[in-house]
Amino acid sequence: MMSGAVDQQRACDGTEERLRELLATAALFRWLARGMMYPYPGARGTLLAEARQLLLLLPAWSRMQDALSNTDEGLLEAEYCRLFMGRGVCSLHETAYGDGQRMGGQVVELADISGFYRAFGVEPSPTQPDLPDHLCSELEFYSLLLIKEAYALDEAWTEQAQVAEEAGQTFLSHHLGRWIVPLAEGVRDHAGADTFYGTLATVLQEVVAQECRRRGVTPQPFSGRLTPDEGLQGDAFICPREQVPSAN
């Protein structure tokens, strides 16, 4: 157990406040990942209960909770399928977005994302068929980086904390921070700005933007979704009821 002197020092140098911030942000990114997953039966109630425990001072946060409260669970599932499943109007895969400069190919991008995951001991789930560039995978990975940074900071492991911090900066700059804007705009356009998924997209965009500012990174956003003939990726339709939900 830490002595009172150590506790006081941590409070004075801001370590305790930083730990709370990292863990709260990690919980938020984890929640956002769950919000963008397929809404299995019961998901609506779980999301609402967890959202009410997260203190987020964004106008869209309360609007999102209201929209979720007023959305029937069956309609939520149907809307998710319409927007995101198969060749839905809004892809949840990073490599579906870009511009003419991004023709290095899907394989290169996926390899880079997978490299981040492997460096931190993350392996794809055998029960989930999604590629590593899926939004939920990227959000969960970023949440993990925040937790690793917090743990290293709590243990006074300066080097490990710096490694996790720099990985978060790079991942935001090269990946997660680049395609959230066109994704969010597409969701609002096709779902409506005041619907659950519309308000969730706004929250997602604002949270990632906040984190980029906190990290001091300025990602170069992609211009929009690639056309099918630019085809870095065609989303295969997999019925979610045939999948086994993640245990996490």
pLDDT tens readout for residues 162-196 = 999 999 999 999 999 999 999 999 999 999 999 99
Which pLDDT score is estimated for 232? 43
The tens digit of pLDDT for each residue in 60-86 reads 999 999 999 999 999 999 999 999 998
| pTM, to two decimals | 0.86
In the beta sheet, which residues pair with residue 224? Answer: 98
Structure confidence at residue 246 (pLDDT):
41
Contact 177, 217 (CB under 8 A): yes
The CATH number fitting domain 28-228, selected from 3.30.390.50, 1.10.3480.10, 3.40.630.30, 3.40.50.620: 1.10.3480.10
Nearest-angstrom CA–CA distance, 139 and 3? 36
Show the low-confidence residues of the chain (pLDDT under 70): 1-13, 99-105, 126-129, 227-248
pLDDT at 177: 96
- Helix (H/G/I), strand (E/B), else coil: 120: coil
Residues ≥6 apart with Cβ < 8 Å to 215: 165, 168, 169, 172
| pLDDT at site 11 | 54
